[in-house]
């Protein structure tokens, strides 16, 4: 269960409980992360820490903060950029210069945090996309660092699923694979053989998910119209999601997916 999203204890909504948490609507939790984290710009190591903390914040995915001294100080250039968070305070920014590479405003930190978040002093965070490569211990990660409280369960099912666009049937299956992921609706992945021929057109769009892997996208053609990137699939998902390899999930605007369809 995610701490800060959906019905998690620090999230914006909750299920039925026999307890009450007396706390502000917007919650912060700063907890140690025992993993060794490293980040590179090109071949240059810019961050190497065994002292990271994860900041869990209501409605936001956890962010890894590291002691500022665990960044290579020779690569940091303070900028004039500032921002303000009503829950954490004013943030200062640093750019990263590694050889010929300049990553502007790549790092931020709260040098004088608000009284409600004093533990942020001395820590800073690096935007994931400002580094070319991340390692958790000795393993590369893509799509961002994982939330240790986030869970993905994948189950084969016989529940009937029907997919329609403007009333036209696009797919129907009694052999879906269902993905139950923290804070997200149930998603149905269908065999391509259960998709009516001619409705899927390849797209050039790709994305990477830290829990599922690399996704490719499909345009959905129906009734003379094309819904762009209205379906996706994972051809080689991460090990924990291998059951959905090659299956198609419809999730685009204009597509209706009925689970337990009559």
Element (H, E) at 106: strand 101-109
| 179 and 122 part of one domain | no
pLDDT of residue 124: 98
The C-alpha atoms of residue 9 and residue 15 are separated, in whole angstroms, by 9
For residue 50, the 8-state DSSP code is: S
Q: Which tens digit of pLDDT belongs to each residue from 90-115?
A: 999 999 999 999 999 999 999 999 99
The C-alpha atoms of residue 45 and residue 103 are separated, in whole angstroms, by 14
> Within its chain, how far is the Cα of 220 from the centroid?
25
Flag residues of the chain having pLDDT under 70. 1-23
Q: Which tens digit of pLDDT belongs to each residue from 223-248?
A: 888 999 999 999 999 888 999 999 99
Q: How many residues does the chain have?
A: 262
| 133 and 210 part of one domain | no
Burial classification of residue 223, based on how many CB atoms lie within 10 Å of its CB (0-12 exposed, 13-18 middle, 19 or more buried): exposed
In a domain, 18, yes or no: no
| 158 and 249 part of one domain | yes
| 137 and 156 part of one domain | no
| 177 and 245 part of one domain | yes
Q: What is the CATH number of the domain that holds 80?
A: 2.170.150.40
| The pTM of the whole model exceeds 0.85 | no
| 85 and 132 part of one domain | yes
In a domain, 146, yes or no: no
| 126 and 157 part of one domain | no
| 160 and 235 part of one domain | yes
pLDDT of residue 26: 82
- The structural domain count of the chain equals 2
Q: What is the residue range of 253's domain?
A: 152-259
């Amino acid at each position: 269960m995610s701490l800060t999203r959906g019905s998690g204890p620090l999230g914006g909504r909750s299920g039925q409980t026999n307890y009450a948490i007396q706390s502000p609507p917007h919650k912060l939790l700063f907890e140690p992360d025992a993993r060794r984290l490293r980040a590179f710009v090109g071949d240059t190591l810019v961050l190497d820490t065994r002292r990271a903390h994860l900041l869990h914040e209501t409605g936001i995915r956890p962010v890894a903060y590291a002691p500022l001294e665990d960044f290579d100080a020779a690569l940091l250039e303070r900028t004039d950029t500032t921002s303000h968070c009503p829950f954490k305070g004013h943030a200062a920014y640093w750019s990263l210069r590694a050889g010929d590479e300049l990553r502007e405003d790549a790092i931020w930190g709260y040098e004088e945090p608000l009284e409600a978040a004093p533990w942020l002093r001395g820590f800073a965070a690096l935007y994931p996309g400002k580094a070319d490569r991340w390692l958790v211990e000795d393993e590369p990660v893509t799509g961002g660092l994982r939330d240790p409280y986030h869970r993905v369960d994948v189950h084969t099912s016989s529940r009937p699923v029907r997919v329609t666009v403007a009333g036209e049937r696009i797919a129907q299956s009694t052999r879906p694979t269902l993905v139950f992921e923290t804070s997200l609706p149930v998603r149905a992945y269908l065999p391509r053989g259960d998709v009516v021929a001619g409705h899927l057109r390849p797209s050039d769009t790709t994305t990477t998910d830290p829990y599922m892997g690399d996704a490719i996208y499909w345009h959905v053609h129906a009734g003379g119209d094309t819904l762009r990137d209205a379906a996706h699939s994972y051809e080689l998902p991460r090990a924990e999601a291998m059951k959905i390899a090659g299956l198609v999930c419809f999730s685009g605007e204009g597509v209706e997916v009925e689970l337990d369809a009559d």
